[in-house]
């Protein structure tokens, strides 16, 4: 069931989203050669708890960390640890916040120092795909319009979209209806978007094929061909005049 949020609820989500965005910004500044991914995680948890929030991911189905930190061929759900960032890496950071019982979820992929041209183009295209999807999320349009915006931009640029994982509705819980695929499928639940619907739109775009695997830790998703992957995400609310981004 898709839950339409009331204005007061949306404003609470906006506060959670703003906190998530500020954490993501701080982590991006710290993501430099020589930094361990667990240091990024510790910074994020300190910031969230200092502002009265709780890490949304920590404890979810046993996940042990505050952030997901995914490097190079890792698509999503990379687990922070002792791995050290190095020059030329691309690092995807996903942060979720629970604040005043409402959720905010955002992600971005950053360059660590100078990166190859293919990585730069992948980051740009994935960021653009997210923006195009947000522009399509308007009351009266269909969910497939959002999905098509991501797929068409990524594939026209010579990349592929991950099909095993999707975006999602969000509110009091991190994952609500509807699922938000980054591709159009004949069997997708293609609902008409209503004002007040809140979505976490998150293109996951691969430099190579769309196939992915999950590593033995049960969490980290990697490209099967081990080529680069990028991930960007915003939490938005659908309005009559378009989408309002809550994670800014």
- Dump pLDDT digits (tens) for 139-195: 999 999 999 999 999 999 999 999 999 999 999 999 999 999 999 988 888 999 999
Q: Which residue has the tokens 């680069």?
A: 228
> Across-strand partners of 140?
none
Q: What is the pTM of this model?
A: 0.97
Q: What is the mean pLDDT of residues 227-242?
A: 98
User: Is the pLDDT assigned to residue 91 strictly greater than 90?
Assistant: yes
> Rounded to whole angstroms, how far apart are CA atoms 21 and 12?
14
Percent of the chain with pLDDT over 90: 98
Q: Residue 186's pLDDT is what?
A: 86
Alpha carbons 130 and 127: distance in angstroms, whole number:
5
Q: What is the pLDDT of residue 244?
A: 98
The DSSP annotation for 108-176 comes to EEEE-SS--HHHHHHHHHHHHHHHHHHHH--TTSBHHHHHHHHHHHHHHTT-EE-SS--EEE-SSSSSE
Find the helix or strand (DSSP H, E) in which 222 lies: strand 221-223
Work out the mean pLDDT of the chain and round it to a whole number.
98
Taken in order of first residue, the domains within the chain and their CATH numbers are 7-245 (3.90.230.10)
């Amino acid at each position: 069931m898709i839950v339409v949020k009331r204005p007061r609820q949306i404003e609470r989500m906006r506060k959670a989203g703003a906190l998530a965005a500020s954490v993501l910004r701080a982590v991006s500044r710290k993501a430099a050669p020589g930094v361990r991914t667990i240091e990024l995680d510790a910074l994020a948890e300190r910031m969230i708890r200092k502002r009265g929030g709780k890490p949304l991911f920590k404890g979810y189905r046993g996940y042990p960390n505050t952030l997901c930190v995914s490097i190079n061929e890792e698509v999503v759900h990379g687990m922070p640890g002792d791995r050290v960032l190095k020059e030329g890496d691309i690092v995807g950071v996903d942060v979720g916040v629970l604040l005043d019982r409402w959720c905010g979820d955002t992600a971005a992929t950053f360059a660590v120092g100078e990166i190859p041209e293919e990585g730069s183009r992948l980051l740009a295209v994935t960021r653009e795909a997210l923006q195009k999807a947000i522009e399509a999320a308007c009351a009266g349009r269909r969910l497939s319009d959002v999905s098509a915006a991501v797929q068409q931009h990524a594939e026209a640029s010579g990349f592929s979209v991950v099909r095993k994982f999707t975006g999602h509705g969000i509110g009091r819980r991190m994952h609500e209806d509807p699922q938000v695929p980054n591709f159009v499928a004949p069997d997708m639940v293609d609902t008409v978007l209503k004002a007040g619907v809140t979505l976490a739109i998150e293109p996951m775009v691969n430099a190579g094929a769309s196939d992915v695997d999950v590593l033995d830790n049960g969490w980290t998703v990697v490209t099967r061909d081990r080529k680069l992957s990028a991930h960007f995400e915003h939490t938005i609310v659908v309005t009559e005049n378009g989408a309002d981004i809550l994670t800014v």
